[in-house]
Structure 1
């Protein structure tokens, strides 16, 4: 059995898709699984033991480019795929498996994909409330699994594989010491400050962890999160700044994953790196405001979610100072510290 997957294009979604790969491998141990996704996804896919090959998608997000998709599909015919799983819901995402002439092509109905997919699933969102359930359900016969409660439990949650050598190499690359245990902070969020815990709260927590608890802080994120990292660092006392390292925009995705794996625990906004931390089974405090954990929560028994409001609020900019959302401002550092302290107290000693 040779499986071809059209994977998602976002970090969090890519992480949750690993549950499908793990499930397919459990059901079909001899199967090979190849995943086509944007090239930046390769570091994540390479840390998923179930995935045999990461195939780069050369087209940008949103590009239809039917001719190029036809060329890609025809090129893939020689691989002899027997099954395809299309995870995005767009019309264009179903084109490559169709042009590759893969015999069975499975996916949710999505954007008018009749004919492109021949194992088409109508999606009842109430029957599958979690994204991970929607991914995993595709591994099973649609007549047998019609709602989330039909899925075998427990679900196989995402689980990245990182070696001690990976961690050691990354620490050396950034001249990071292990004399102090590290706590990772992920202060960025895809859509700006409305989904971010305020930098001054992160700073207050960092100050306590460094000065009173003997930790060092690693700040993770993309280049656009670097400024938020600097705001956190500059709010610390000069002594505490020596134990705070702003790595946002400095690491590759692979390096960030390896360094997150080195952390004793992680504090994160609702972001892709939050899902990475969960898949690395790091003790995790996840902070939610207008976005909701009801659809894409961190998939880890070591994760604790703090949220003070209910429902989903489509807000791109908070109405408080600096664009923060009041529901995140109201989460106090002492509450986050208490959750963090509890998680660390239940961790087995190294």
Structure 2
């Protein structure tokens, strides 16, 4: 099957499962899939298999019936001990849901195998899926698009669905975070060194934001990433206008902080894609990454990137840190001024009074 030869589903499916467990940023930008499916099949039950811990970023979406946690770590521990009982029970739970259609938007052996274990007759995935995943699909689609969001939406032609490019995310009622609405959210971390803007420049930018804007600054990151944020956290220890959220929020709290922000300044990370989902002003700092494929969707003008012809896109290679170092503080500050609408970016302003948090 090719993308130019879509197959309709008749009768209309009653139960649909979308598989996209990770990573968090990829989960955030997969939401057009469920919007498209809901528009085409308004009466169907639509579930989403997502990595445990990531459910909150999609669970409140009005087009989704249930976010099913994928207990990857627990299953892995069980299998390493030589026990298959937990895996058997978990796959039985999926099979008992009797899905008519399963769409694997992850495209790896594990996700494709899960699609097969559901027993669904229609199992859709990319013909180019890695790790020989295609052997588990009943309908294989050749991707015709470049960006990962559009490539995922290409899969929908297998079930006769037109894509709806609605990236909106929703935050659940009652989710709170220790940061005031209107904060500037800094996301200075990344798993890969080549994706990190230098920490001292985040510190310099923070000092300028404090001196020249009235906004508080909230810094976010995981519990094991505090060392990457130390330049900003050092400022937070002496200035109550900098709110330390590093390791202090779950995914729901991160989403809430971004949803209420005035501006998001982020490395190539989940925070940038969540900002797109909440339609927040964004300055996205990118190094050796092909943004045409995986940049903030339809927000190309929000990307700061300084590539040279000799650069490659091997972001996992720590030798490629130079691309991020070419972005200087003045570059980012000008982008912030443009998005904040600061009338006189060189003049200090009277800050808003903020009580210390915690």
TM-score range, shorter chain: 0.7 to 0.9
Cα offsets for 1:173-223 (capped at 9, x unmatched): x3x456xx41000000122x3211111211221111111211111001101
Aligned to 2:292: 294
Query: Is 1:9 equivalent to 2:22 in the alignment?
Result: yes
Aligned to 1:186: 187
Aligned to 1:221: 221
Q: Alignment RMSD, CA only?
A: 2.9
Q: How does 1:98-117 map to 2 (within 5 A)?
A: 98-109=116-127, 110=129, 111-113=131-133, 116-117=136-137
Cα offsets for 1:24-81 (capped at 9, x unmatched): 1122222221111221111112132222111122233995967755543333333231
Given that residues 60 and 170 in structure 2 are in contact (C-alpha distance below 8 angstroms), is that contact kept between their aligned partners in structure 1?
A: yes
Secondary structure of the 1:325 match is helix
- From 132, 157, 165, the counterpart of 1:140: 157
Secondary structure of the 1:266 match is strand
Aligned to 1:120: 140
Structure 2 CA distance for partners of 1:80 and 1:345, relative to 1, 3 Å: same
Secondary structure of the 1:286 match is strand
Aligned to 1:92: 110
- From 64, 75, 81, the counterpart of 2:99: 81
Given that residues 106 and 117 in structure 1 are in contact (C-alpha distance below 8 angstroms), is that contact kept between their aligned partners in structure 2?
A: yes
- After alignment, is 74-83 or 38-47 more displaced? 74-83
Aligned to 1:148: none
Structure 2 CA distance for partners of 1:83 and 1:251, relative to 1, 3 Å: same
| TM-score normalised by the chain length of structure 1 | 0.82
Structure 2 CA distance for partners of 1:114 and 1:243, relative to 1, 3 Å: closer
Structure 2 CA distance for partners of 1:69 and 1:98, relative to 1, 3 Å: farther
Q: How does 1:1-350 map to 2 (within 5 A)?
A: 1-60=14-73, 63=76, 69=87, 71-109=89-127, 110=129, 111-113=131-133, 116-123=136-143, 127-141=144-158, 155-162=164-171, 166=174, 170-171=176-177, 174=178, 176-177=179-180, 181-191=182-192, 193-234=193-234, 236=235, 241-299=239-297, 301=299, 304-309=302-307, 312-316=312-316, 318-319=318-319, 325-345=321-341
Q: How many residues align?
A: 320
Secondary structure of the 1:277 match is helix
- After alignment, is 327-336 or 280-289 more displaced? 327-336
Aligned to 2:8: none
Given that residues 286 and 303 in structure 1 are in contact (C-alpha distance below 8 angstroms), is that contact kept between their aligned partners in structure 2?
A: no
Given that residues 83 and 104 in structure 1 are in contact (C-alpha distance below 8 angstroms), is that contact kept between their aligned partners in structure 2?
A: yes
| TM-score normalised by the chain length of structure 2 | 0.80
Aligned to 2:11: none
What stretches of structure 2 of length at least 5 have no aligned partner? 1-13, 343-358
Given that residues 20 and 104 in structure 2 are in contact (C-alpha distance below 8 angstroms), is that contact kept between their aligned partners in structure 1?
A: yes
Between the aligned partners of 1:282 and 1:303, the Cα distance in structure 2 is 13
Q: CA deviation at 1:325?
A: 1.9
Given that residues 236 and 242 in structure 2 are in contact (C-alpha distance below 8 angstroms), is that contact kept between their aligned partners in structure 1?
A: no
What stretches of structure 1 of length at least 5 have no aligned partner? 146-150
